[in-house]
Amino acid sequence: MEQTAKDPAVRYQRAERRQIEWRPLSLDQLLPEDHTARLIWAYVEALDLKELYKKIQAHEHGPGRNPIDPKILLALW
């Protein structure tokens, strides 16, 4: 099928061929116990985010991708 200007571009994940090694890794173990990121994450986890979770429209067994957890977005912001 030929793509025209009206058709949206197809989205897909590409293989990362330059990846050197695949190994199980815990990101938590990479951060020292006194790292600022741990303080930020503890703060975000203590927040009441019910209203943000209510706005998520993705549901189990439904179409589409899973949205990013609001906790992650707040911690990064």
Residue 2 lies in a domain: no
Residue 24 lies in a domain: no
Tokens of residue 77, six digits: 């912001």
How many domains are there within the chain?
1
Q: 53 lies in which domain range?
A: 31-76
Residue 50 lies in a domain: yes
Tokens of residue 33, six digits: 């116990």
Q: 0.75 exceeded by the pTM?
A: no
Asked if the model's pLDDT at residue 57 lies above 80, the reply is yes
> What is the spatial distance between Cα 66 and Cα 59, in angstroms, rounded to a whole number?
8
pLDDT in tens, 3-56: 556 777 667 777 777 877 777 888 888 899 999 999 999 999 999 999 999 888
pLDDT at 14 (0 to 100): 76
Residue 5 lies in a domain: no
Where does the pLDDT of residue 61 fall: very low under 50, low under 70, confident under 90, or very high at 90 and above? confident
Residue 62 lies in a domain: yes
Residue 65 lies in a domain: yes
